[in-house]
Amino acid sequence: MNKERLLEVRGLKKYFEAGRPALFSRDIRKVHAVDGVDFQLRHSEVIALVGESGCGKSTLALLLMGLEDPTAGTVTFEGRDITHLNDNERKDLRRKIQMIFQDPYESLNPTQTIEEIVNEPLLVHGIAKDKRERDERVKKAMEDSGLKPAEVYLNRFPHELSGGQRQRVVIAAALVLEPEILLADEPVSMLDVSIRAEIINLLAELRITRQIAVIFITHDLGSVGFFADRVAVMYLGRIVEIGTMLEVLEKPQHPYTKALISVIPVPNPRLRRKRIILQGETPNPIDLPTGCRFHPRCPVAISACKINDPSFVSRSNSHQTACLLLVK
Amino acid sequence: MFVLVLNFFLFRVLPGDPARAGVHDPRLKKDSIEAIRVRFGLDKPVINCFETLNPIKLGSCDINPLDTQFFIYLKNLVTGELGISYHTNRPVATVLAERLWNTVLLIGAGQILSITVGAFFGVFAAWKARTAIDYGALATSLVVWSLPTFWLGIILLFWGSANGLPIGGKATPGMSSAPLMQQWGDIARHMILPTVTYTIVYMGEYMLIMRSSLMDVLSEDYILTAKAKGLGVFQILRDHALKNAMLPLVTIIAINLGFTVAGAIQIETVFSWPGLGGAIFEAVNRRDFPVLQGAFLLIAVTVIVANLIADLTYSYLDPRVHTE
Amino acid sequence: MEKLTQKDNLPSSTQFSEFWRKFKKNRMGLVGLVMLAAITFVAVFAPLIAPHRSSSILNVGVSDIYKAPSAQHIFGTDDAGADVFTNFIYGARVSLTVGFFAAFISIVIGGVLGIVAGFFGGRVENILMRFTDIMLVIPDLPLMVVIVALTKPSLLNIIFVIGLLGWTTTARMVRSQTLAVKSRKFVLRARAIGSSQFHIIRRHIFPLVTPILVVQAVLVVSLAVLNESTLSFLGLGDPTVLSWGQMLNYAFGRGAMSTGAWWALVVPGFGIVWVVLGLTLLGQGLEQVLNPRLDTHHLMPGRPNVKSTSVALSRNETQPASGKSLLEVQNLSVNYVTEGQLSARAVESVSFTLKEGELIGLVGESGCGKTTLMLALLQLLPSAGQIVNGQVLFGGRDLTTLSDDEMNTVRWSEISIVFQGAMNALNPVRSVGDQIAEAIKKHLTGFPSDKISTRVVELLDLVGIAADHKDHFPHQYSGGMRQRAMIAMALACNPQIIIADEPTTALDVMIQAQILELLNSLRTKLGLAIIFVTHDLGVVAEMCDRVLVMYGGVTAEYADVDIIYNEAKHPYTQELLKAFPDLTRPKKKLSSIPGYPPRLDALPAGCRFAPRCPVVFERCHQEQPSLHQMDGNRHIASCHLLEASK
């Protein structure tokens, strides 16, 4: 077992059934939501999973959390495959991997107080039987999440807090279990611009103070800033490019990544750049294109792209891209 | 299909021997009771196999399944025959058929009126939301919703009899020889009070639904778009709001058809209107199971058909359903 | 870290007191509660209140039957010579008992079935809901009549029959509420924590289903009371107890009509109406409090504009050297008024000028009043909104003084608007082409009707939608296509100005880029002037000529785009830029602005940015800064520091 690797995802696939194309048709159409994803996560590392809607990033999050069962592939956490666990094992695992959702208005139960929300994971897992110890842990998790002093917030209801504060409550409810991985699904996209940075900075702080690894899922590479160590770009259920943040942002190899980066608005009117705007929209994941699944929208596709499905080409140890044009 | 089966067993599970109750005469000799049973097919086991399911009369598996009450019931259904009334000895289908049209007349007129009046005030209340008109309409509909149907009927009867309206029945005796136009006029006069009762009782609900549905639609963004397009108020109501707001109403009307039978029973009892509701009520008192069974089947089928029509209307009105 | 305001230290209200506070304001609910309390009081203390002993059929002579109301019998006597008022009081006991117990049975069955079906879904749900449907198909009153008639007519039986048949609506409503709650993110979060299903139902589903259940319970009680009285009236009641329905049955059946004894018929009925109306009002009141819905809509008449100051205003901007000004907004202020009281000063003294072919960006965070400002330009404010000051000059007219009919000639034909989230901005039951054609028919009156269809196809082509999508409905379009269709619609009448209110929010970056590119190309092709509302500083930098930064309803800064990004003077603009990630500058550390934007109904006293401002000083908390003009009026900012530096 490699100490370095906290989480290893290999050949992960999830197909959903989408009904039959015709009433009496024999075959059932499948949505290829996640279609062969591989990556590793190291201790206290931040990885950003970037892609447009329909690329499978949210399904991937649910798979990693064990909230959906994969069709194929493995997820190894601390040397153990976690895709086929029984209920008890899965419950134990939940302590190690926690999740933050996009909409802090929706992810808190409006009838619970903040204390009940943050305390709930401890009760569910039967951790810290002693009330005082529980209170201690709740308080620490809240203050680590920036809800200081915790007493002020304990008896409040979610609707009494601002969006930023609510997202902190969600983070506190995750931290209270002392997880090793935080899965953040678009954690800032619903927040005001002036608040976003503080949530990102908070996550950045947690990886240092608590050695938590973060999987940051987003459709907007711009919102991650340079907070992530590595970036994986997803298209139609697969990772098409993965590398360190600087490698991907400064030397993107895949035409999709190049386009994606070029359209991120830059807050500088003196830098109005040439954008590569892809036409059309991500095709539906039911009828996948042949060959490279990006070829119908690719501005530089060659005829071979229609036939051959590219495999990864390494530019450096950390930087891999799946594109036929890079094969020499 | 399920309804047919349920309908059948419902009336076998209920206590009270149909043969006994149906005849109401304890002095009858045992063999005459048996004769009655044979006459109505009650000597046969209800269904074969399920012997453990007593207390209903069930037969063992040895019995020919075709010779059970259940099978005969099904067979008769297929041929459109609903059995014979215990009480009048006439075919149930005939008994119900003559009653049915009276009820259809009453419910039909009442439904159309209550929907029209209710929807009209609902639209008006929603459009003029939070004004005196709205509050007035709301209060009225809540009050009429709270009125027990039969009581309203009684009160109207009181008022009607004081004002010379006919107070019971469907036609004045002896009218059958009068010219057709006069006969119809007479029926119409008899219908006034029952129909008004019906309309008042049901319009409140339709108004409330129409109001809240239209309120929802009118607060949608596309109404703001329509306003930004420079359309006038009437144009927006007509072209952008009414169709969308009709959708919930269609569903409710269909579901309500079943419930309106409840209203029909009460109204028909109060006004001695010779309809289906009255027939059910009489049949209950006389333990006339074939009639009851037939009436329930009729109602259930009507409600199912109504729901089917509602679904079709819905998908006609809402492209989100028919283009999927 | 976020600063805590005074309000944060107040003890938090409990949920019940919160509920009670709202309920007290609900007149309908209160009236219902009082009506019920009164009748319950009567029922409980019946022996003390009743003027005669119950069933006082002693010493009945013929003359005692149907005696008219008198001092001794205030509501007269009935067919048995008993006091109607006494019977009425005792009847309340029966009705309420039956109502509450039967409803209890119904609510428990309906609640359990609804939650189980909704939560577990799949086959369980299928079976339960099919069963419910069948119960719905069989009309319940006739069924009750049959069952009650065929069993022993006792009160207990009636309670059970009504209870066992009255749960269907509850089950359906609870199921749909359960489904709605189940799909919410906090249930997914509870699963992610590792909660068991039982825990989720108990702690997360049930508390959110309760409001529905409470309202439903009240309505079911009223139905049970109605059903009991109907059954009794039909002669199927328990002959040993005298309920209101029973009283009516006896009176109706035993000649009250023919003797004209209206009291024997009116009084018991009045009792039923009283109870049912009380319950209905209470139910409606609870519904309004527990499941609040909007009670405003877009067709409610707006408030007339009232302007405190005269029209002669000093112009904040000199006429710019180049380009004709198209739209001039001067000192526009909008208030929100609820229940006759000023609830928010949403926009205050905002001025800007839009020139021909110019693209002006309106930037601000949620709740800064930017959408209110845009709606005010077109006089589309919700009914609570009111323009209290300022002018909107367009084509030589002040739009704030026009009537609704006059405005309708300006809307869309001169100024059109593209809303955020085009899913809801398009009517779902009409085809897209039809909705575009509608605008043409309305405004281009001379337009030949046989050419409209061609024009619609042209417009769709202009925004990159194929002609065969013309007759499709909005739900068949993707998010990006809907926004394109919305733009095509906005172009339909060749307007001079398009207001784009967050047109790309909630779209993917690539789709956003497509839409922005489209707007840009249309702008050059058609010479459009555009007001672009957004919270995204990056988009503004890429698109706009001039930028208006709003904060808490006022102008923070207004200048050319280059000045805003490179020489911003207002601390808010500066801080906002620091908080915005810039992928071209990897070294830059993101900083956040402490606190959160003010709510427009609770604005700070002085400068609205003061509580979050890094360079705040004493004066900022007391006095709202005025607009300072720099660079020959090309640059405006509202900050006390600018005055100090002068």
pLDDT tens-digit series, residues A43-55: 989 999 999 888 8
The number of CA neighbours under 13 Å toward the Cβ of C408 is: 15
Asked if pLDDT for residue C311 goes beyond 70, the answer is: no
3-state secondary structure of A24: coil
Low-confidence ranges of chain A (pLDDT < 50): 1-2
Q: Report strand pairing: C359-363 vs C415-418.
A: unpaired
CB contact under 8 A, A265 and C596: no
Question: Are the C-beta atoms of residues B321 and B315 closer than 8 Å to each other?
Answer: yes
Q: What is the pLDDT of residue A268?
A: 86
Beta bridge partners of C417: C499
Are B121 and B163 contained in the same domain? yes
CB contact under 8 A, B154 and C417: no
The architecture in CATH of the region A5-20+27-96+179-327 reads 3-Layer(aba) Sandwich (3.40)
Tokens representing residue A140 in the block? 């620490």
Rg (CA), chain C: 34
Interface test with C, best of A193, A229, A247, A263 (most C CBs within 10 A): A193
Asked if pLDDT for residue C485 goes beyond 90, the answer is: yes
Residues 368-387 of C with CB under 8 A from A: none
Are B113 and B59 contained in the same domain? no
Tokens representing residue C111 in the block? 């609640």
How far apart, in whole angstroms, are the C-alpha atoms of residue B234 and residue B238?
A: 6
Q: What is the pLDDT of residue C312?
A: 42
Residues 602-621 of C with CB under 8 A from A: 612
Q: How many residues does chain A have?
A: 328
Are B74 and B97 contained in the same domain? no
How far apart, in whole angstroms, are the C-alpha atoms of residue C296 and residue C385?
A: 12
In angstroms, what separates the C-alpha of C157 from chain A's closest C-alpha?
39
Q: What is the arithmetic mean of pLDDT over C552-566? A: 93
Q: Which residues of C touch B15 (CB under 8 A)?
A: 150-151
CB contact under 8 A, A110 and C194: no
Nearest to C429 among B16, B243, B270 (CB): B243
Q: Which residues of A touch C592 (CB under 8 A)?
A: 194-198, 201
* Residue B87 falls inside a structural domain: no
Peptide bond into B55 cis (omega under 30): yes
The mean pLDDT of chain C is 86
CATH number for the domain harbouring residue B154: 1.10.3720.10
3-state secondary structure of B285: helix
Asked if pLDDT for residue B55 goes beyond 50, the answer is: no
Burial of C454 (0-12, 13-18, 19+ CB in 10 A): exposed
Q: What is the pLDDT of residue A76?
A: 92
Q: What is the arithmetic mean of pLDDT over C573-591? A: 84
Inform me whether the C-beta atom of residue A159 falls under 8 Å from chain C C-beta atoms: no
Q: Which residues of B touch C438 (CB under 8 A)?
A: 229, 231, 239
CB contact under 8 A, A267 and C597: no
Q: How confident is the model at residue C175 (pLDDT cuts 50, 70, 90)?
A: very high
Tokens representing residue C124 in the block? 């369980």
Q: Domain total for chain B? A: 2
Inform me whether the C-beta atom of residue A264 falls under 8 Å from chain C C-beta atoms: yes
How far apart, in whole angstroms, are the C-alpha atoms of residue B12 and residue B289?
A: 9
Residues 281-320 of B with CB under 8 A from C: 281, 284-285, 287, 292, 295-296, 299-300, 303-304, 307, 317-320
In angstroms, what separates the C-alpha of B182 from chain C's closest C-alpha?
28
Are B280 and B149 contained in the same domain? yes
Q: Report strand pairing: A213-218 vs A230-235.
A: unpaired
Q: Which residues of B touch C143 (CB under 8 A)?
A: 296
Asked if pLDDT for residue B233 goes beyond 60, the answer is: yes
Are B153 and B30 contained in the same domain? no
Q: Do chains B and A touch (3 or more CB pairs under 8 A)?
A: no
Highest mean pLDDT among B88-102, B155-169, C159-173, C631-645: C159-173
The nearest alpha carbon in chain A to C515 belongs to A277
In angstroms, what separates the C-alpha of B102 from chain C's closest C-alpha?
18
Q: What is the pLDDT of residue C151?
A: 76
Q: Which helix (H) or strand (E) holds B75?
A: helix B69-78
The nearest alpha carbon in chain C to A225 belongs to C581
Inform me whether the C-beta atom of residue B269 falls under 8 Å from chain C C-beta atoms: yes
In angstroms, what separates the C-alpha of C182 from chain B's closest C-alpha?
23
CB contact under 8 A, C280 and B146: yes
Are B52 and B193 contained in the same domain? no
Summarised one tens digit per residue, pLDDT across range C399-417 is 999 999 999 999 999 999 9
Q: What is the ipTM of this complex?
A: 0.90
Q: What is the pLDDT of residue A159?
A: 86
CB pairs under 8 A between B and C: 220
In angstroms, what separates the C-alpha of C185 from chain A's closest C-alpha?
5
Residue C542 or residue C146, greater confidence: C542
Q: Which residues of C touch A226 (CB under 8 A)?
A: 581, 586
In angstroms, what separates the C-alpha of B184 from chain C's closest C-alpha?
27
Residues 81-110 of A with CB under 8 A from C: 90-91, 94-95, 98-99, 101-103, 106-110
Question: What does DSSP assign to residue C67?
Answer: P
Q: Which one of B44, B78, B112 terminates a domain?
A: B78
3-state secondary structure of A218: strand
Q: What is the pLDDT of residue B24?
A: 42
| The 3-state secondary structure of C143-194, one letter per residue | HHHHHHHHCCCCHHHHHHHHHHHCCHHHHHHHHHHHHHHHCCHHHHHHHHHC
Residues of the domain holding B310: 93-321
CB contact under 8 A, B148 and C229: yes
In angstroms, what separates the C-alpha of C328 from chain B's closest C-alpha?
19
Question: Are the C-beta atoms of residues B149 and C230 closer than 8 Å to each other?
Answer: yes
Q: What is the pLDDT of residue B22?
A: 40
Are B306 and B218 contained in the same domain? yes
Nearest to A124 among C194, C535, C592 (CB): C194
Nearest to C150 among B14, B147, B221 (CB): B14
- Residue percentage of chain C with pLDDT more than 70: 92
Q: Do chains C and A touch (3 or more CB pairs under 8 A)?
A: yes
Residue with structure tokens 């639904």? Answer: B209
CB pairs under 8 A between A and C: 198
Q: Which residues of C touch B311 (CB under 8 A)?
A: none
Which residues, 6 or more positions from C606, have their beta carbon under 8 angstroms from its beta carbon? C619, C620, C621, C622, C623, C624
Cross-sheet strand order for the sheet of C554-560: C415-418, C497-501, C529-534, C359-363, C546-551, C554-560, C635-637, C628-630
Domain boundaries of chain A, sorted by first residue:
5-20+27-96+179-327, 112-169
Residue with structure tokens 């809800």? Answer: A147
Beta bridge partners of C560: C546
Q: What is the pLDDT of residue C12?
A: 43
Are B171 and B122 contained in the same domain? yes
| The 3-state secondary structure of B89-140, one letter per residue | CCEHHHHHHHHHHHHHHHHHHHHHHHHHHHHHHHHHHHHCCCCHHHHHHHHH
CB contact under 8 A, A112 and C15: no
CB contact under 8 A, C541 and A220: no
Residues 222-281 of C with CB under 8 A from A: none
Q: What is the pLDDT of residue C373?
A: 95
Asked if pLDDT for residue C81 goes beyond 90, the answer is: no
Q: What is the pLDDT of residue C35?
A: 93
The nearest alpha carbon in chain A to C207 belongs to A111
Inform me whether the C-beta atom of residue A194 falls under 8 Å from chain C C-beta atoms: yes
Nearest to C194 among A125, A157, A165 (CB): A125
Instruction: Give the phi and the psi of residue A50 in degrees, each rounded to 5.
Output: -115, 140
Question: Are the C-beta atoms of residues C557 and C364 closer than 8 Å to each other?
Answer: no
Are B69 and B196 contained in the same domain? no
Q: How confident is the model at residue B322 (pLDDT cuts 50, 70, 90)?
A: low
What does pTM read for this prediction?
A: 0.86
Are B70 and B101 contained in the same domain? no
* Residue B185 falls inside a structural domain: yes
Interface test with C, best of B1, B133, B151 (most C CBs within 10 A): B151
Residue at B272: amino acid letter: S
Q: What is the pLDDT of residue C498?
A: 95
Are B206 and B251 contained in the same domain? yes
Q: What is the pLDDT of residue B64?
A: 61
Q: How confident is the model at residue B6 (pLDDT cuts 50, 70, 90)?
A: low
Q: How confident is the model at residue C2 (pLDDT cuts 50, 70, 90)?
A: very low
Rg (CA), chain B: 25
- Residue percentage of chain C with pLDDT more than 90: 47
* Residue B67 falls inside a structural domain: yes
Q: Report strand pairing: A238-244 vs A230-235.
A: antiparallel
The nearest alpha carbon in chain C to A114 belongs to C12
Nearest to B223 among C138, C142, C298 (CB): C298
